[in-house]
Amino acid sequence: MNHRHRSFVGALGLLAACAAAPAQERPDIVWSAAGTVRAVAYSPDGALLAASSDDRSTGLSTVTMRRVHDGAIVRVIDPRLRNIRSLDFSPDGARLVAGGLRLGEWGAPDRFDCVRVWRVADGALLLSIYDYLRKTKAVKFTPDGTELVVLAEDGRAFTDRHLSFYRASTGARLRWYGAGQTDMELPCMDLTRDGTVVACSLYGRVRLFRAADLAVLGDLATNSALTVAFSPDGHTLASAGFGPEIWLWRTADGSHLRTLVGHTENKDINSVAFSRDGSVLASTSYDGMLRLWDPTTGDLLRTYTTGRAGKVAFSPDGAFFAYSSSVDGLVLARNPYAPFAGSEMAVADASGPIGSDVTVSARLTSTGAGLSGKTVSFTIDGDTGEGVTDSTGLATVTYRVPERGGPGPRAVWASFAGDAGFGPSSGAGTLTVTRADTFVYVIDRTGAVGRTVYLRGYLYRSTDRERIGGRTMSFAVDGTPIGNALGDANGRATLEYIPPSGSAGSHWVHVGFAGDAAYAASAALGRLEVARLASTLWVLSRTEPRGTQTYLRAYLRSLPDLAWLGGKTVAFTLDGTPIGSAVTEAANGRASVLYAIAPDMALGAHPIAAAFAGDADFTGSDAVGTLTVTP
């Protein structure tokens, strides 16, 4: 869909940079990484820097994401593209877009380009847009992240399309603009931060469009450009490229504001970029210099020796600028004109029980805007931690609430030490600590009547399942209290218990914690299985003559301790015939029955059998001895 257009008319006077240009120097480099870099882009929170680079031997592109503060590689993406000249993060920082020449089935370059979108968190490919694109030079997300703006030709013959808008979720083409001719060079494109105006170089001129419907707003009175950039407020457009001049234009009416002169004659300018607050304009050139300008006055502020430099971009907070260099590869340098502003710290109140993980947060702002990528230090009761602010200025730490201090309010202090761009600030909030829930665990036990059993209960904190030591727990068996025990450092309370006579069988053991200022009450049940003790019986063998009397005796003991058992009834038989019973003596467990040997009793051995039938506390037992009858 083509549109009629009007030309802006403006004065084209040249403004000398200054009477005496600043001396050349090296940038204040934070870090650098070797490679042939073609495009750079910052994440909105300023934490990541993405760069595309080409392999000199294969021409294949790689997209690398690095941490801004130290240059460490976070993720490497194989885009399956060549000649990536533009990158952009979505406004929420969750997606990254790039465009380039796609590879065919066997890895050879295809005749068409492809625009691809990846998820930043894991590098997963989310979207590929083909649409017969060629010569893709610029890709950008709209400010709301719902659309993609692509500067590229339609590669089909006799097809007039150069600037296209796509739905970022599906890749569907929404609207497009054709410049009236095919096979054009399309060097550059930019979008105002509010997403209302698009500027691009095409058809030998710099043209402005209304983004909503791609109506042509007008052409600037200049030739085509290699690079264009809007100021942060969108009021000014910088264009440069074919020659050493940088042209500044008023966006509203296309009038020429001033021309910045300082780069070497006959050396093209590769890239221009405004700082976050619009107070500095950076430019790179094939003359091996990177220059910083005051766009308001046109003054040349700094001249840096960089080697042949490509793309340049300022960090979202204005503290750094990144650029590509033939000497140093990808470079991050400090902005000597970073805006120094005050900062404010607001600490959110929080609450949680002892032992819980509480998220403590603070928001760092400057003039109401969140500051991203800043380190915030937290202090609670002498415990310290650090968090880094996100794109909204929010920093968080996870705090495990300790038992010390008990329930009640605790002060949360958060501080920012300040940096090159922003002054220090601090703030305080309140962490309200509450009593923690608990639970008791009772170990099932087994024992025997009259023998010591160690009953045990463990006290735990519900929030983190840690054991709680130093608390008294009460014990009861079948509802009858039997005593208290103090828990050790591992939260274990142990009570000695001797099951009384007649208690053989299954019993409930109740262990309870009454609660205190820091912890809520809890209780639990376990089982105690009480068994009867084993017994053993031994019969004393005798040799006696006919017609006499003798005591037949048996001895009863408990097992395994072999203690004498008194007061137990033992029955005796001789030759299978019952002859009486007797009660064992306490002193020696002996049971005795008096037996009269008949005068006519058969001579020889006669079996004596003794049996204890068992009772509530002891199992039964029996034994056999011999009565030998002599003449």
pLDDT digits (tens, 9 = 90+) for 103-159: 654 444 556 778 999 999 999 999 999 888 878 889 999 999 999 999 988 777 666
pTM over 0.85: no
| The pLDDT value given to residue 372 | 84
Confidence of residue 10 (pLDDT cuts 50, 70, 90): very low
pLDDT at 348 over 60: yes
Q: Read off the pLDDT of residues 518-553 as tens digits, 9 standing for 90 and up.
A: 999 999 999 999 999 999 999 999 999 999 999 999
CA angle 344/347/352 to nearest 5° reads 175
DSSP state, residue 316:
T
Spatial separation of the C-alpha atoms in residues 231 and 261, rounded to whole Å: 19
Confidence of residue 14 (pLDDT cuts 50, 70, 90): very low
The helix (H) or strand (E) run that includes residue 621 is strand 621-630
Domain ranges of the chain: 24-334, 344-433, 438-531, 534-630
| The pLDDT value given to residue 106 | 44
Q: Read off the pLDDT of residues 371-391 as tens digits, 9 standing for 90 and up.
A: 888 999 999 999 999 999 997
| The pLDDT value given to residue 15 | 36
Residues 6+ apart with CB under 8 A from 19: none
Q: Read off the pLDDT of residues 187-202 as tens digits, 9 standing for 90 and up.
A: 789 999 999 999 998 7
DSSP state, residue 182:
S
pLDDT at 575 over 60: yes
Spatial separation of the C-alpha atoms in residues 542 and 568, rounded to whole Å: 22
Q: Strand runs (DSSP E) across 443-586, as ranges?
A: 445-448, 453-461, 472-477, 480-486, 492-497, 505-513, 522-531, 534-540, 542-545, 549-559, 569-574, 577-583
pLDDT at 12 over 50: no
Q: Listing from the earlier edge strand, what are the strands of the sheet with 300-305?
A: 24-25, 300-305, 289-293, 281-285, 269-274
User: What Cα–Cα distance (Å) separates residue 463 from each residue in 356, 358, 442, 467?
Assistant: 5, 11, 19, 11
- Between β-strands 61-67 and 125-129, what pairing exists: parallel, antiparallel or unpaired? unpaired
Task: Read off the amino acid at residue 355.
Answer: G
pLDDT at 264 over 60: yes
Across 214-223, 297-306, 462-471, 577-586, least confident range:
214-223
Task: Read off the amino acid at residue 517.
Answer: A
pLDDT at 58 over 80: no
Q: Read off the pLDDT of residues 24-44 as tens digits, 9 standing for 90 and up.
A: 788 888 899 998 899 999 999
The CATH number of domain 344-433 is 2.60.120.10: no
| The pLDDT value given to residue 547 | 93
The residue assigned the tokens 């590769």 is 270
Task: Read off the amino acid at residue 34.
Answer: A
% of the chain with per-residue pLDDT over 90? 69
Q: Do domains 438-531 and 534-630 have the same CATH topology?
A: yes
The CATH number of domain 24-334 is 2.130.10.10: yes
Q: Read off the pLDDT of residues 279-314 as tens digits, 9 standing for 90 and up.
A: 999 999 888 889 999 999 999 999 998 888 889 999
CATH code of the domain occupying 438-531: 2.60.40.10
Class of domain 534-630 as given by CATH: mainly beta
Beta bridge partners of 155: none
User: What Cα–Cα distance (Å) separates residue 398 from each residue in 361, 395, 461, 465?
Assistant: 9, 11, 18, 17
Spatial separation of the C-alpha atoms in residues 100 and 264, rounded to whole Å: 30
Spatial separation of the C-alpha atoms in residues 402 and 411, rounded to whole Å: 14
Output the six-digit token pair for 142. 């709209």
Spatial separation of the C-alpha atoms in residues 354 and 50, rounded to whole Å: 43
